[in-house]
């Protein structure tokens, strides 16, 4: 198989090795290689590579720079909370730790350029030096002069250096106000379904055949492709669920080629994975444990978020219900829902309920404490005295973040709250106290 990567500066076998490590990315690697040119020649001062997550940007850069043994420095902008860390790392990679120690205490860009110039007059670049900066969108949040200066670094230090920025965000959102040196823009397109299949099938398990694994990948992609195309996530999901997929095979119930039965076995499991592991509601460790104990108990998976398994006392549940009703019903409709004899309802001032202004779409509204208590007393079956225990339950609901306090902490006499739970949670809670909440909601009239 002839290599798709060809360049006169490097031998064929080397490029062949590079191409093997970069499946489905040969075109982009070829473009980069031709832009980089011969190692001793100059290259364009700055290149901006953009593309989705896990589309191979860092991987291609690393493989190219390492295999072709070009002098480079890779920096992730997430690590560089201060510019000093960035400068140190660059000087360290190119000139060694003596140069890095020349930096003063809190170096400015001016110091960095000065030391770089000194160092490169002693050891000029025989080959183009590459600086690869990952997650470059974080550079926008640092000093305003850093990004334009880095784009022009070749001109400022008068050395053969090229900056390569990798980011998920498009260049239009990076441009400073008065403009800057425009880098060359390169796009790394996303992988197609076939390419994803090809790459994921490379992780095959040694004790099973390649076709078996690729039929598994096919099923996995069928479930997850419409939701997620991130290669990393899919690989993680494939690794987690493979043992479950092979279970019927290990038990001897089905053969390798019985794809239909295997699919029937794994599909509900994958659907459950989408609701839990994919959302990181459960950790991967919990998921694996759960898979092993599944035959013994069929309890629901305990999610990581608080809302799935919180147990509230009786009055707290009613307080929460009252808070939900107060948030999502407009105040003028309280009379209709909560008074026994509310008389006639005037029709004239009622605006026709527009779908957009349905309160469930706009979000919860703040309500004062008095209104909450009024609704609470009318909702609870028996008579309740306003003791301190009721009020302390309200505070604990705020601590559990089921209610949010909207008013300032200083306001003690008329605090305002908002209800911060979803409809599904509310329905579950009200079912436990046999309260039909839908009947009391204005939006569902």
Partner 1 sequence: MSKRKVKDDHMPVGECITQVQEVFRERFCCQKLPEQPEGVESQHKHLLELLKRTAVHGESNSVLIVGPRGAGKTMLLKCVLRDLLEEKEVQKNLLQVHLNGLLQTDDRIALKEITRQLNLENVVGDKVFGSFAETLGFLLEALKKGDRSSSRPVLFVLDEFDLFAHHKNQTLLYNLFDVSQSAQAPIAVVGVTCRLDVLELLEKRVKSRFSHRQIHLLSSLTFPQYAERVRTQLSLPDDFPDDKFAQDWNASVKNLCEDKSVEEVLQRHFNSSKDYRMMHMLLMLCLSRVSVAKPNIKPADVLEASKMCFTDAKANMLHGLSILELCLVIAMKHLNDVYEGEPFNLQMVHNEFKKFLHRKSSSMYNFEQPVIMKAFEHLQQLELIRPVDSSSAKTQREYQLMRLMLDHSQIMEALQKYPQCPTDVKQWAMSAFG
Residues 359-398 within binding reach of partner 1 (CB under 8 A): 360-364
Q: Which is nearer to partner 1, 4 or 339 (CB)?
A: 4
Cα–Cα distance, 407 to 135 (Å, whole number)? 38
Do residues 278 and 233 touch, judged by C-beta distance below 8 A? yes
For residues 121 to 160, the per-residue mask of contacts with partner 1, x marking binding by CB under 8 A and - elsewhere, is ----------------------x-x--xx--x-xxx----
Map residue 334 onto helix, strand or coil: helix
Token reading at 426: 């509310």
Shorter beta-carbon distance to partner 1: residue 97 or 185: 185
Looking at 252-283, list the stretches that DSSP marks H as alpha helix, in order from N- to C-terminal side. 259-275
Site residues for partner 1, window 400-439 (CB under 8 A)? 404, 406, 418, 420, 422, 424
Whether 4 and 26 have beta carbons less than 8 Å apart is answered as yes
Contact (CB, 8 A) for 265 and 242: no
Site for partner 1 contains 229 (CB under 8 A): yes
Query: What is the closest distance, in whole angstroms, from the C-beta atom of residue 383 to partner 1 in the complex?
Result: 34
Nearest to 43 by CA among 58, 28, 33, 30: 33
**Total chain residues near partner 1 (CB under 8 A):** 72
**Distance between CA 335 and CA 385 in Å, rounded?**
22
CB of 144 to partner 1, least distance (A): 9
Q: How far is the CB of 9 from partner 1 (least distance, A)?
A: 8
| Residue of 55, 93, 329, 430 interacting with partner 1 (CB under 8 A) | 55
Please give the residues from 90 up to 109 whose contact with partner 1 meets the rule CB under 8 A.
108-109
Interaction of residue 79 with partner 1, rule CB under 8 A: no
Let me know if 389 is exposed, middle or buried by CB neighbors in 10 A (0-12, 13-18, 19+): exposed
User: How crowded is residue 221: how many other Cβ atoms within 10 Å of its Cβ?
Assistant: 19
Cβ(47)–Cβ(183) under 8 Å?
Answer: yes
By CB under 8 A, name the one of 14, 17, 21, 52 that touches partner 1: 52
Verify binding: residue 71, partner 1, rule CB under 8 A: no
> Contact region for partner 1 (CB under 8 A) — 57-65, 208-216, 222-230, 312-320?
222-230
Q: Rounded CA gap, 366 and 323, in Å?
A: 10
Closest contact distance (angstroms) between CB of 317 and partner 1 is 20
Nearer of residues 204 and 365 to partner 1, judged by Cβ: 365
* Binding residues for partner 1 restricted to 178-217, rule: CB under 8 A: 178-182, 184-187, 189-190, 192-193
Q: Which of 51, 44, 2 is nearest to 28 (CA)?
A: 51
Pairing of strands 403-405, 161-167: unpaired
The stretch among 3-11, 56-64, 384-392, 427-435 that binds partner 1 (CB under 8 A) is: 3-11
The helix or strand, by DSSP H or E, that contains position 238, with its residue range, turns out to be: helix 231-251
User: Is 267 among the residues that bind partner 1 (CB under 8 A)?
Assistant: no
Smallest separation, CB 163 to partner 1 (Å): 13
Instruction: Kindly state whether residue 304 participates in binding partner 1, applying the rule CB under 8 A.
Output: no
């Amino acid at each position: 198989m002839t290599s798709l990567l060809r360049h006169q500066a490097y031998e064929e076998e080397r490029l062949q090795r590079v191409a093997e490590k970069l499946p489905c990315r040969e075109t982009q690697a070829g473009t980069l290689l031709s832009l980089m040119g011969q190692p001793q020649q100059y290259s364009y001062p700055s290149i901006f590579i953009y593309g989705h997550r896990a589309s191979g940007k860092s991987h291609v850069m690393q493989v190219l720079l390492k295999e072709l043994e070009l002098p480079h420095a890779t920096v992730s902008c997430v690590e560089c909370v201060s510019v000093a860390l960035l400068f140190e790392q660059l000087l360290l990679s190119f000139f060694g730790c003596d140069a890095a120690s020349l930096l003063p205490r809190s170096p400015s860009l001016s110091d960095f350029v000065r030391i770089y110039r000194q160092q490169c007059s002693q050891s000029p670049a025989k080959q183009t030096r590459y600086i690869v900066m990952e997650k470059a969108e974080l550079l926008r949040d640092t000093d305003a002069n850093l990004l334009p200066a880095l784009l022009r670094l070749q001109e400022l230090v008068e050395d053969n250096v090229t900056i390569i920025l990798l980011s998920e965000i498009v260049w239009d959102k990076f441009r400073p106000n008065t403009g800057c040196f425009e880098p060359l823009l390169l796009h790394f397109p996303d992988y197609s379904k076939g390419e994803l299949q090809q790459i994921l099938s490379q992780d095959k398990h040694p004790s099973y055949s390649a076709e078996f694994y690729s039929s598994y990948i096919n099923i996995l992609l069928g479930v997850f492709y419409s939701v997620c195309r991130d290669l990393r996530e899919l690989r993680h999901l494939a690794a987690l669920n493979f043992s479950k997929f092979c279970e019927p095979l290990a038990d001897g119930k089905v053969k390798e080629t019985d794809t239909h039965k295997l699919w029937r076995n794994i599909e509900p499991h994958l659907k459950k994975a989408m609701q839990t592991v994919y959302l990181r509601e459960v950790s991967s460790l919990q998921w694996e444990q759960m898979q092993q104990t599944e035959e013994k108990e069929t309890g629901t998976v305990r999610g990581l978020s608080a809302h799935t398994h919180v147990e509230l006392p009786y009055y707290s549940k009613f307080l929460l219900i009252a808070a939900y009703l107060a948030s999502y019903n407009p105040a003028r409709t309280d009379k209709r829902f909560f008074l026994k004899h509310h008389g006639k309802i005037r029709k004239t001032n009622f605006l026709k309920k527009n779908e957009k202004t349905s309160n469930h779409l706009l979000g919860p509204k703040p309500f004062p404490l008095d209104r909450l208590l009024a609704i609470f007393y009318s909702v609870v079956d028996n008579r309740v005295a306003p003791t301190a225990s009721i009020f302390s339950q309200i505070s604990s609901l705020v601590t559990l973040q089921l209610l949010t306090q909207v008013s300032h902490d200083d306001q003690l006499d008329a605090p305002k709250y908002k209800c911060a739970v979803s409809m599904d949670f509310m329905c579950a809670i009200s079912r436990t106290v046999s309260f039909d909440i839908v009947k009391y909601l204005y939006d569902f009239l």
